[in-house]
């Protein structure tokens, strides 16, 4: 081991300007007296225990009743309490630290330097970051009934002095943290408390999250609910791969800070009827976050919370001179009137099932778990059987949603949407049966059925002399990964007598990312054969400027997320204009999805968007109704 550098000498006369950055330039006389006392002791410190004793002496001079604890980061990213003031109530300190971590204050303090927090009706906490020039070592927790400005100032300065003392000892974790006094565990049991904290974001770790959730379930009142939200960053692996892992880490930290701020807002707490201490926000996976909520009075408003979290991410992230737009998928699970057998694992499993459905529905969505999913195996088998029966009995049907040229109002085409109605007349949601079809491989046969039926419908309209329009058909990730896709599609169109220019294949960015090598190869073959290829849900995070230029595309569809706020949000208009400009520079026409009102339509028309689609322009309808409403006889 290299010898420790010679300690820097400090004297009581050292000027305030030479103290670490963050110390206030104008200090109250009381503050100066305390700092002189501590500095006088610091210059002779040779160990961590001596340093902490000097700081403790200063704290007692400041306010005899102040509770103080020093938490240092261990190599395993835990924050461990290594020092408590003698008068600190150690039996309640662990609970207080747990509560502050649950509410996200520790993560904020590690990033921002200090955080004020309420620790009850008559107590205020200051979480102050200990840092040196090269690393963040941990936090100091100060608790006092009422802290006036001079005391605030002094406590912050004392924290800076701990960092300075650590720098003098040796800015090295092992040298500073080890060895600890052998008697500490016996004399102060609270010193062995280790709080799992995520090393990157400063949020609670998954282990602590699960403990919080289980405690919330055990302590829940019958009339209240416990809830879990799981958030997964869509396509985040591409950020790491195409930018860098360092950039990915920076984005994760900023994303965590934004979400944490949203969760701690008074409006969020009031809406759900929870206190700050009833919220635990944690990093539960590489690009996954968890929110646990205890004692929820208004669980019906969790969907509103999820929508707010989406909006906090939608603003994008500034990176390397450009703005990167990401999205999250959210799964929500609620437990009310909890049974004795309910566990944290049950709630997490339900939230994960909802998260998977949000992903399968096209990402950037939130889905609330439904108890009817409980027997997922039964649901899967039943749905698989229904799909097989629908294929055998030819009971699927197609609906068509019109697309219009925004400049002229002329019909430009239609998107084909698959529908399935049960024998009792109940419609089965595509969000329910498409994931099953993909997992069983039935999606390949269903996709061929859709293509054949669409071709036959075009032939029928052509025979009536109606307007010759193209139809847009969605192609799934499973279909795109089949090496013989192009051969099969060309064969079907030849058999049905329809030219390839009449079919536009819509490919989501998710599908491209699913098996990028095979997918790009298939798309190039399809494009060369004459098919039109449109990139669906464009701009929601999977494509980058680097990769989009390599897609063999004919056009792009502007995702509804960039359309819904156009009339109220200037930022949304700027983003939409930027995407339109990018598309035009690449030579792509643009279809805007999700146009819900006249204002959105007018704005997109004014920005020069080519084609529009949405409920304002026309709802999906069956073939006969589409023919009656939108198709006129060709002249």
Residues 165 and 235 in one domain: no
The answer to whether the beta carbons of residues 260 and 279 sit under 8 Å apart is no
For residue 188, the model assigns a pLDDT of 33
The mean pLDDT value for 390-419 works out to 93
Evaluate the CA torsion angle 594, 600, 604, 605 in order and state its sign.
positive
Q: What angle do CA 303, 360, 486 make, to 5 degrees?
A: 155
The mean pLDDT value for 133-142 works out to 70
CA 281 to CA 82: how far, in whole Å?
A: 25
The answer to whether the beta carbons of residues 339 and 292 sit under 8 Å apart is no
Compute the CA torsion angle 618, 620, 621, 625 (nearest 10 deg): 30
For residue 101, the model assigns a pLDDT of 75
What does each C-alpha distance from 95 to 89, 114, 331, 355 come to in angstroms? 11, 20, 29, 31
Domain count, the chain: 3
Band (pLDDT 50/70/90 cuts) for residue 290 is very high
Q: Is 6 a domain residue?
A: no
CA 409 to CA 403: how far, in whole Å?
A: 9
In this structure, the strands spanning 124-131 and 136-144 are antiparallel
Q: Is 596 a domain residue?
A: yes
Whether omega before 549 lies within 30 degrees of 0, making that bond cis, reads: no
Highest mean pLDDT among 376-380, 524-528, 559-563: 524-528
What does each C-alpha distance from 218 to 211, 294, 341, 626 come to in angstroms? 11, 10, 10, 55
Of 33-37, 535-539, 555-559, 584-588, the least confident: 33-37
More confident residue, 509 or 30: 509
For residue 266, the model assigns a pLDDT of 83
The answer to whether the beta carbons of residues 181 and 150 sit under 8 Å apart is no
The mean pLDDT value for 592-615 works out to 91
The answer to whether the beta carbons of residues 434 and 601 sit under 8 Å apart is no
Band (pLDDT 50/70/90 cuts) for residue 271 is confident
267 Cβ neighbours under 8 A, 6+ residues apart = none
What does each C-alpha distance from 538 to 78, 511, 555, 559 come to in angstroms? 41, 12, 10, 5
Of 78-92, 263-277, 295-309, the least confident: 78-92
pLDDT tens by residue, 8-20: 333 333 333 333 3
Q: Is 524 a domain residue?
A: yes
Q: Is the pLDDT of residue 461 over 60?
A: yes
For residue 498, the model assigns a pLDDT of 93
pLDDT tens by residue, 155-203: 667 777 777 777 666 544 333 333 333 333 333 333 334 456 777 888 8
CA 227 to CA 336: how far, in whole Å?
A: 9
CATH at 622: 3.20.20.450
Residues 22 and 167 in one domain: yes
The burial of 541, by beta-carbon neighbours within 10 Å (0-12 exposed, 13-18 middle, 19 or more buried), is given as buried
Residue 263 parent element (H or E): helix 245-264
Residues 148 and 237 in one domain: no
The burial of 613, by beta-carbon neighbours within 10 Å (0-12 exposed, 13-18 middle, 19 or more buried), is given as buried
Q: What is the 3-state secondary structure (H, E, C) of 36-105?
A: HHHHHHHCCCCCHHHHHHHHHHHHHHHCCCCEEEEEEECCCCEEEEEEECCCCCHHHHHHHHHHHHHCCH
Q: Is the pLDDT of residue 141 over 90?
A: no
Q: Is 30 a domain residue?
A: yes
Residues 324 and 369 in one domain: yes
Residues 320 and 277 in one domain: yes
For residue 135, the model assigns a pLDDT of 65
CA 80 to CA 357: how far, in whole Å?
A: 39
Task: Locate 579 and state its tokens.
Answer: 């995407």
CA 403 to CA 613: how far, in whole Å?
A: 5
Q: Is 463 a domain residue?
A: yes
pLDDT tens by residue, 465-501: 999 999 999 998 888 888 888 899 999 999 999 999 9
The mean pLDDT value for 203-211 works out to 83
The answer to whether the beta carbons of residues 92 and 69 sit under 8 Å apart is no
If you average pLDDT over every residue of the chain, what do you get? 78
Residues 332 and 461 in one domain: no
pLDDT more than 90, % of the chain: 24
At residue 464, what are phi and psi to the nearest 5 degrees?
-85, 0
Q: Is 4 a domain residue?
A: no
Residues 444 and 563 in one domain: yes
Residues 441 and 323 in one domain: no
Map residue 428 onto helix, strand or coil: strand
Q: Which of 492, 494, 470, 497 is nearest to 479 (CA)?
A: 492
For residue 366, the model assigns a pLDDT of 92
CA 400 to CA 127: how far, in whole Å?
A: 58
Q: Is the pLDDT of residue 154 over 70?
A: no
The answer to whether the beta carbons of residues 139 and 130 sit under 8 Å apart is yes
pLDDT tens by residue, 39-66: 766 666 677 777 777 777 666 665 566 6
The answer to whether the beta carbons of residues 12 and 40 sit under 8 Å apart is yes
Residues 328 and 415 in one domain: no
For residue 59, the model assigns a pLDDT of 66
CATH at 309: 3.30.70.270
The mean pLDDT value for 282-301 works out to 91
Q: What angle do CA 267, 271, 275 make, to 5 degrees?
A: 80
CATH at 37: 3.30.450.40
Q: Is 508 a domain residue?
A: yes
The answer to whether the beta carbons of residues 227 and 335 sit under 8 Å apart is yes
In this structure, the strands spanning 366-368 and 328-336 are parallel
Which of 194, 219, 239 is the endpoint of a domain?
194
Q: Is the pLDDT of residue 288 over 90?
A: yes
Q: Is the pLDDT of residue 89 over 70?
A: no
Q: Is the pLDDT of residue 227 over 50?
A: yes
| Strand ranges of the sheet holding 78-84, from the earlier edge strand across to the other edge | 114-118, 124-131, 136-144, 67-73, 78-84, 194-196
For residue 88, the model assigns a pLDDT of 63
Residues 296 and 426 in one domain: no
Q: Is the pLDDT of residue 406 over 90?
A: yes
More confident residue, 138 or 479: 479
Residues 52 and 123 in one domain: yes
- The residue range of the domain holding 345 is 204-374
Map residue 405 onto helix, strand or coil: strand
At residue 402, what are phi and psi to the nearest 5 degrees?
-70, 150
Residues 437 and 582 in one domain: yes
Residue 596 parent element (H or E): none
pTM, two decimal places: 0.45
More confident residue, 377 or 605: 605
Which of 318, 339, 374 is the endpoint of a domain?
374
Q: Is 221 a domain residue?
A: yes
Give the number of other CB atoms < 10 A from CB of residue 59.
Answer: 22
Which of 163, 194, 225 is the endpoint of a domain?
194
CA 199 to CA 205: how far, in whole Å?
A: 9
Q: Is the pLDDT of residue 344 over 60?
A: yes
CA 566 to CA 270: how far, in whole Å?
A: 28
């Amino acid at each position: 081991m290299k010898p420790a550098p010679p300690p820097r000498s400090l004297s009581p006369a050292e000027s305030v300007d030479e103290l670490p950055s963050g110390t206030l330039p104008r200090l109250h006389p009381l503050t100066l007296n305390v700092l002189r006392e501590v500095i006088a002791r610091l210059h002779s410190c040779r160990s961590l225990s001596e340093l902490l004793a000097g700081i403790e002496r200063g704290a007692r001079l400041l306010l005899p009743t102040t509770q103080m604890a020093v938490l240092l980061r261990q190599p395993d990213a835990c924050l461990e309490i290594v020092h408590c003031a003698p008068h600190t109530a150690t039996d309640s300190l662990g609970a207080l630290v747990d509560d502050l971590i649950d509410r996200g204050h520790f993560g904020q303090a590690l990033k921002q330097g200090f955080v004020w927090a309420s620790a009850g009706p008559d107590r205020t906490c200051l979480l102050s970051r200990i840092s040196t020039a090269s690393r963040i070592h941990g936090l100091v927790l100060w608790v006092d009934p009422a802290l006036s400005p001079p005391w605030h100032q002094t406590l912050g300065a004392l924290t800076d002095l701990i960092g300075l003392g650590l720098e003098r000892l040796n800015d090295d974790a092992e040298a500073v943290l080890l060895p600890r006094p052998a008697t500490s565990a016996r004399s102060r049991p609270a010193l062995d408390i280790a709080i799992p904290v995520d090393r990157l974001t400063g949020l609670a770790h998954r282990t602590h999250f699960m403990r919080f959730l289980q405690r919330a379930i055990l302590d829940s009142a019958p009339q209240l609910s416990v809830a879990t939200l799981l958030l997964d960053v869509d396509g985040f692996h591409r950020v790491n791969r195409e930018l860098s892992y360092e950039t990915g880490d920076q984005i994760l930290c900023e994303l965590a800070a934004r979400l944490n701020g949203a969760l701690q807002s008074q409006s969020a707490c009031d809406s759900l009827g929870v206190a700050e201490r009833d919220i635990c926000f944690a990093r539960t996976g590489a690009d996954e976050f968890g929110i646990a909520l205890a004692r929820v009075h208004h669980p019906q408003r969790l969907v509103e919370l999820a929508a707010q979290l989406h909006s906090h991410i939608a603003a994008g992230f500034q990176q390397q001179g450009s703005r990167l737009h990401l999205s999250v998928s959210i799964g929500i699970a609620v437990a009310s009137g909890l049974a004795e057998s309910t566990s944290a694992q049950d709630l997490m499993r339900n939230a994960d099932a909802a998260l998977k459905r949000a992903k399968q529905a096209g990402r950037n969505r939130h889905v609330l778990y439904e108890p009817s999913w409980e027997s997922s195996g039964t649901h899967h088998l039943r749905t698989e059987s229904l799909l097989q029966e629908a294929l055998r009995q030819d009971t699927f049907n197609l609906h068509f949603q019109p697309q219009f040229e925004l400049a002229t109002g002329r019909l430009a085409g239609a998107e084909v949407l698959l529908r399935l109605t049960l024998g009792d007349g109940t419609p089965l949601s595509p969000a329910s049966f498409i994931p099953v079809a993909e997992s069983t491989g039935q999606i390949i046969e269903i996709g061929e059925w859709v293509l054949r039926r669409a071709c036959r419908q075009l032939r029928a309209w052509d025979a009536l002399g109606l307007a010759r329009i193209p139809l847009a058909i969605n192609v799934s990730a499973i279909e795109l990964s089949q090496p013989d896709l192009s051969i099969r599609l060309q064969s079907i169109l030849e058999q049905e007598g329809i030219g390839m220019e009449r079919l536009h294949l819509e490919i989501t960015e998710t599908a491209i990312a699913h098996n990028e090598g095979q997918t790009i190869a298939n798309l190039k073959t399809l494009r060369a054969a004459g098919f039109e290829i449109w990139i669906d849900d464009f701009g929601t995070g999977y494509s980058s400027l680097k990769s989009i230029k390599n897609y063999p595309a004919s056009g792009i569809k502007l995702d509804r997320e960039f359309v819904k706020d156009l009339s109220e949000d200037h930022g949304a208009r700027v983003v939409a204009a930027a995407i339109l400009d990018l598309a035009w520079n690449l030579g792509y026409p643009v279809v805007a999805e999700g146009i819900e009102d006249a204002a959105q339509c007018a704005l997109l028309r004014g920005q020069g968007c080519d084609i529009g689609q949405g409920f304002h322009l026309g709802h999906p309808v069956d073939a006969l109704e589409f023919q009656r409403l939108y198709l006129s006889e060709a002249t």
